[in-house]
Structure 1
Amino acid sequence: MKRFEWIDTLKGIGITLVVASHIYTGEIRYFLGIFSMPLFFFIGGFLYSSKYDNQVYLKRKIVHLIVPYIAFILLLYPIQLITLLPQRQGFSFVDILKLIVNPIIGGTFLWGLTSAFWFTTCFFITQQLANFIIRKVNPKQVIFYIIGLSGLSYLNYLFFKQIFLPQNAHVAIAGTSIFLIGFLYRKLYSERNNSTISISVLFFVLCMTLYSNQTSNLWSWSLLGMDMKRANYGMPVFSLLLAIGLILLLIDISKLLVKYAPLLSKIMGALGQASMSILYLHLAFIYALKGLDSGISYFNLFVFSTALSFIIHSIILKFSFTRAIFLGSYSDFEQIFLTRNNQI
């Protein structure tokens, strides 16, 4: 598959927005919620490749996503229990049982240091659903699956909020629709800048922001914001369209950075390549930094949690074993575990 230089920059912007959404509160968090997580489902669809058969695709994605998920759960969940549980009082047997079962069920039940881990298993399920659909149907029919899956996800959100599945599998319905939108965008993509779309979206967002300032008692970004972890998809149809529009805007910004601000693009690109490590680690550093200095500013919290996560990622990169376990590097995993087992 052709390598797009701006993709890593886009992922870097995306992961910094995710970190920011876990630090900042109020309207900023609501606004970032519209598109920060949908962005990664969209990127997944854009980068999708059908060069592997279903069995190989499944095996590679298990190594790439599920192995690091388990590794980071085993690393951070005990630390979470040791550091955060003393702050709670009055534990019953049921409470203790929940603490044991929560990481197994995953999804919405993940909390504290592992709160963001819901994305990994949901994204894994999304990939498998999307792979099945793309292989089975004509590309022209994909749009109907997008509409159908989006409709199902809104039904879940509006009328069946109490229904949930382990590992946030129900959220994969919405995730798959966004993944397929990214897939279709790749089919239609050209290197020409989509500035018309971006300018239109930016103008709309600015108008809505001005409107919200004038009628703050009537308007809030919370009306549009998504919380995919909890199957909250915002305002039906409108939030999804706004999310896609803002994602297209970020794509244009990423391409402009590559062209006109190469140093900043390289920094964001490096963060993009470390995006999964940052996803797993940033909350641990946020909690740790807050524990060391309860008065730490949001900006410092953002910078240090991102930087420390990146440093750990850089250390993980140095060793084949850690690359296999914590990054899901298939070549390293195959060399260390699969080849060795075959020799035995």
Structure 2
Amino acid sequence: MVSNNISTKKRIDWVDMAKGYGTIAVIFAHLAVGKIGVWLYTFHVPLFFFLSGYVFNDSLKFNDFISKKGKGILIPYFTLGLPMLVFTFLQQYRGSWLTRESILTLLKEFIIQKRFWTLWFIACLFFVNIFFFFICKFIKSDLLKIALSFVLVCVGIYYYRCGGQPLPWNIDVCFTATVFFCGGYLLKKHSKYFDYIKDKRAFAVLLFILLGIANVIFGYLTHKISGNGMEMFDSTYGFPPFTFISAFAGIFAVIIFSTFFTLKPIKYIGENSLFYYAWHQTILIPITNKIFINFGLFNTVEHLSASYYVIRATQTVLIIVITTIITLVINKTKLKILFGKK
């Protein structure tokens, strides 16, 4: 879900691997997979904000920065959204409830963008980049950047606790997302520490295990204490201290795991993550659900049984295969520019 507008020569394998794993996690979590989905929510969206911070470039002038983000985020927002609108209109037409009012409502929601479909993240990401651009321009101290990021988290959570509602283009999420974006930015800036961990394989494996355990424990505790956890779409953050510890632990666990080996299929998903992220829930999950229902697969298994998870995993693979075929076609045409690809 990180902008695809990165030159091939500058791509970082582990970043694409992490994006690939994160994309698969997002798709699988949207398939009603019970507690596994709850666990995946502890880190999967924060992971993408973190990785976006890692590839953030604070050396550009504002006009160049806006131009780059416009090409890499804004234009893909509309080009990715168009097929989603068409698919939804067709569904409404088949259901005989496509009206002038329903069309105008969808278009209005698409333009105003308040948690509208999976596109909400792309819209929010544009403004998180702008937020952090100005933070970097006016604040030079890394410690002050960290402090401000946590202040913004507190402001965001207080806003929700006071009954605050989603703002246009999900600007409200920027307050809680900036801390993850800042984390990625600082990891890149102080990459020597990360390089040390990568070079010490035994230590990296141990750290991965410990971080994974921490992610699960603190994710469990935040649900135990508050009844919910990290769900940026729904503006819920559970017991914030434990929620954010769990998120960062999960993020670093995924990142470390992503350095162990490079798998071309996973890397490809990461390189084209916007396609998979944008289209899987609105278009491909309904299509594959219908296929599986027509084959009677959901009728033969108990909900959340082992067989059920196998079916959902198979559905995830099918969604990935379909999207991969589409991306392979698009990436061979000049249309790829409209999707943030060079």
With the shorter chain as reference, the TM-score category is 0.7 to 0.9
Determine which of 132, 142, 146 is the counterpart of 2:145: 142
Q: Tell me what 2:43 maps to.
A: 35
Q: Counterparts of 1:260-271 in structure 2 under 5 Å? A: 265-271=263-269
Aligned to 1:178: 180
The question of 1:199 aligning with 2:209 is answered yes
Name the amino acid aligned to 2:286.
Y
Once residues 250 and 308 of structure 1 are traced to their aligned partners in structure 2, the CA distance between those partners, rounded to angstroms, is: 25
Q: In the aligned structure 1, how far is the partner of 2:250 from the partner of 2:322?
A: 28
Deviation per CA, 1:57-94: give whole Å up to 9, x if none.
111101111111111222220221221465586x9986
> 1:335 aligns to what?
none
Any gaps of 5 or more consecutive residues in structure 1? 213-217, 259-264, 332-344
CA displacement at 1:219 relative to structure 2: 6.0
In structure 2, C-alpha distance between the alignment counterparts of 1:226 and 1:98, rounded to whole Å: 29
Mark the CA change 1:4 to 1:68 in structure 2 (over 3 Å): closer, same or farther: closer
1:7 aligned counterpart, secondary structure: helix
The alpha-carbon deviation at position 288 of structure 1 amounts to: 0.9
Deviations 1:129-179 (A, max 9, x none): 111101210123101111111101211232224x22111111111122210
Q: In the alignment, what sits opposite 2:320?
A: 306
In the aligned structure 2, how far is the partner of 1:87 from the partner of 1:243? 40
Q: Distance in 1 between the 2:120 and 2:22 partners? A: 17
Return 5+ residue gaps in structure 2 as ranges. 1-8, 198-202, 298-310
Q: Does 1:278 align with 2:276?
A: yes
Equivalence for 2:336: 323
Contact kept, 8 Å, 1:9 with 1:272, in 2: the verdict is yes
Instruction: Indicate the SS of the match to 1:257.
Output: coil
- 1:154-193 to structure 2, matched below 5 A, reads 154-161=157-164, 163-189=165-191, 190-193=194-197
Structure 1 residue aligned with 2:6: none
Give the alignment's TM-score, normalised by structure 1: 0.81
Per-residue displacement from partner, 1:183-207 (whole Å, max 9, x unpaired)?
A: 1222233312263543322233565
Q: Secondary structure at the match of 2:240?
A: coil
What's the offset of the Cα at 1:5?
2.1
Q: In 2, are the aligned partners of 1:226 and 1:233 still within 8 Å (CA)?
A: yes
Select between 303-312 and 151-160 the one with higher mean Cα deviation: 151-160
C-alpha distance 219-38 of structure 1, shift in aligned 2 (>3 A): closer
**TM-score, structure 2 normalization:** 0.82
CA distance in 1, matches of 2:329, 2:260: 30
The alpha-carbon deviation at position 299 of structure 1 amounts to: 1.8
What displacement does 1:30 show?
Answer: 1.4
Deviation at 1:276, TM superposition (A): 0.8
SS in 2 for 1:293: helix
Deviation at 1:28, TM superposition (A): 1.6
After superposition, the Cα gap between the structure-2 partners of 1:87 and 1:235, relative to the gap in structure 1 and judged at 3 Å, is farther
Distance in 1, Cα, partners of 2:255 & 2:230: 20
Relative to structure 1, the CA distance from residue 290 to residue 203 in structure 2 (aligned partners, 3 Å threshold; closer, same or farther) is: closer
CA RMSD for the aligned pairs?
Answer: 2.7
Choose from 16, 22, 32 the match for 2:24.
Answer: 16
In structure 1, the partner of 2:232 is 228
The 1:17–1:204 alpha-carbon spacing in structure 2 relative to 1, beyond 3 Å, is same
Aligned to 2:300: none
Distance 1:74 1:221, change over 3 A: farther
In the alignment, the residues of structure 2 paired with residue 81 and residue 244 of structure 1 have an alpha-carbon distance, to the nearest angstrom, of: 39
Percent of residue pairs identical: 23
- From 247, 253, 256, the equivalent of 2:251 is 247
Amino acid at match of 1:234: G
1:146–1:97 CA distance, 2 compared to 1 (3 A): same
What is the aligned partner in structure 2 of residue 291 from structure 1? 290
1:105 aligns with 2:109: no
Q: Residue 119 of structure 1: CA displacement?
A: 0.7
How many residues end up aligned between the 2 structures?
Answer: 309
